[in-house]
């Protein structure tokens, strides 16, 4: 597989279901092999000419956990796949880095016949989305970062929250999930037990090895050295009551990415699940906007200094509650 599988002049088109595809309502599920790695891919078909949205899920999360958001997208084709070792994708032989997942994702995009896409990532998947946008700037038109941070160099959660995230136990023990979800995810999960039960009911397939590989993938990884160079218009979405990823991390992303805007959502870490309609509306409005060409600023140091000054001396503008 080449570094840019989208090369070759392929035009955007709606993929046809293959012989092994399984349909679930408006969502098609199929197995795709990229470089010898089998991936379970879900495609929510839309009906517009804008590029499809490639979504990277959170750590340990099978694609079904994103179903509320996928179904709330009114006219956007969305693509999501289980990373190796999670859900319907078998574990790889060796650990991998974010650049490896970016290559696999680009391979999926090429296999489906698209020459340009928008990219979104939530939490752990937000780091992979940043890597993809950096690695394939001509393939990625717009970028959405939800409840995420710039990697290892971030404002961390409390030790008690991080400890609960250290293993995939919450994905395989629903009673444990009900107990820890309010502390990990905040927002609606603090008040609505039915939201926890619904989310837990969609969980399956988290494996210890796959979860470990996901933890190792982002160990030591950070996007801070090159955030200033990202050319894509970027929407940063953060939950105002997020115990896992502090909202200040979203402010850092929005300040350091040249053409980024920040929207705060009055919810917790999983607002994409608990507020799917409002989140989908924000994303689709952003994706429908005009793409602007952005020239990167002079350098990282200047960007960091100016961004940090604005971060602490000026209020965040344009926040929107949903």
| Tens digit of pLDDT at every position of the chain (322 positions) | 334 444 433 334 444 444 344 443 389 999 999 999 999 999 999 876 679 999 999 998 999 999 999 999 998 999 999 999 999 999 999 999 999 999 999 999 999 999 999 999 999 999 999 999 999 999 999 999 999 999 998 988 788 888 888 778 877 777 888 888 888 889 888 988 888 778 777 777 667 899 899 999 999 999 999 999 999 999 999 999 999 999 999 999 999 999 999 999 999 999 999 999 999 999 999 999 844 444 444 444 455 545 544 544 444 444 444 5
For 298, residues 6+ apart whose C-beta sits below 8 A from its C-beta are: none
- C-alpha 62/C-alpha 197 separation (Å) is 16
Query: Are 144 and 51 within 8 A, CB to CB?
Result: no
Can you give the pLDDT at residue 165? 81
Smallest CA-to-CA distance from 70 within 28, 34, 14 is with 28
In sequence order, what DSSP letters do the residues of 233-269 get, joined into one string?
A: -EEEEEETT-SSS-HHHHHHHHHHSTTEEEEEESS-T
Can you give the pLDDT at residue 315? 42
Phi, psi (5° rounding) for residue 18? -85, 175
Can you give the pLDDT at residue 206? 66
Residue carrying structure tokens 């919450």 = 170
Task: Give the chain's length.
Answer: 322
Could you give the residue numbers annotated as active site? 123
Residue carrying structure tokens 């793409």 = 291
- C-alpha 100/C-alpha 263 separation (Å) is 30
Can you give the pLDDT at residue 40? 97
pTM: 0.82
Residue 320 CB neighbour total at 10 angstroms: 13
Phi, psi (5° rounding) for residue 70? -55, -45
Can you give the pLDDT at residue 13? 44
Can you give the pLDDT at residue 196? 77
């Amino acid at each position: 597989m080449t570094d840019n599988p989208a090369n070759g002049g392929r035009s955007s088109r709606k993929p046809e279901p293959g012989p092994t595809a399984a349909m679930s309502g408006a969502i098609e599920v199929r197995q795709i092999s990229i470089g010898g790695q089998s991936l379970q891919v879900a495609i929510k078909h839309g009906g517009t000419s804008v590029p499809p949205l490639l979504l990277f899920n959170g750590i340990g999360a099978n694609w079904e956990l994103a179903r509320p958001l996928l179904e709330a997208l009114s006219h956007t084709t969305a693509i999501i796949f289980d990373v190796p070792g999670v859900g319907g994708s078998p574990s790889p032989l060796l650990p991998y880095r974010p650049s490896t997942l970016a290559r696999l994702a680009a391979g999926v995009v090429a296999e489906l016949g698209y020459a340009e896409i928008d990219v979104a990532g939530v939490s752990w998947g937000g780091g992979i989305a940043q890597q993809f946008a950096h690695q394939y700037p001509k393939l990625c038109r717009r970028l959405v970062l939800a409840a995420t941070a710039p990697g290892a160099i971030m404002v961390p959660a409390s030790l008690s929250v991080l400890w609960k995230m250290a293993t995939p136990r919450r994905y395989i023990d629903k009673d444990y999930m009900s107990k820890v979800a309010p502390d990990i995810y905040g927002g609606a999960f603090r008040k609505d037990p039915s939201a926890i039960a619904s989310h837990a009911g969609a969980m399956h397939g988290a494996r210890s090895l796959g979860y470990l590989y996901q933890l190792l993938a982002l160990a030591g990884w950070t996007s801070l050295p090159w955030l200033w160079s990202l050319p894509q218009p970027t929407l940063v979405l953060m939950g105002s009551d997020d115990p896992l990823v502090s909202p200040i991390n979203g402010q850092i992303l929005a300040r350091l990415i040249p053409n980024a805007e920040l929207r705060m959502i009055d919810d917790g870490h999983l607002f994409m699940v608990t507020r799917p309609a409002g989140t989908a509306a924000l994303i689709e409005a952003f994706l429908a906007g005009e793409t602007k060409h952005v020239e990167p600023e002079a350098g990282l140091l200047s960007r960091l200094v100016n961004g940090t000054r604005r971060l602490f001396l000026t209020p965040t503008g344009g926040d929107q509650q949903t």
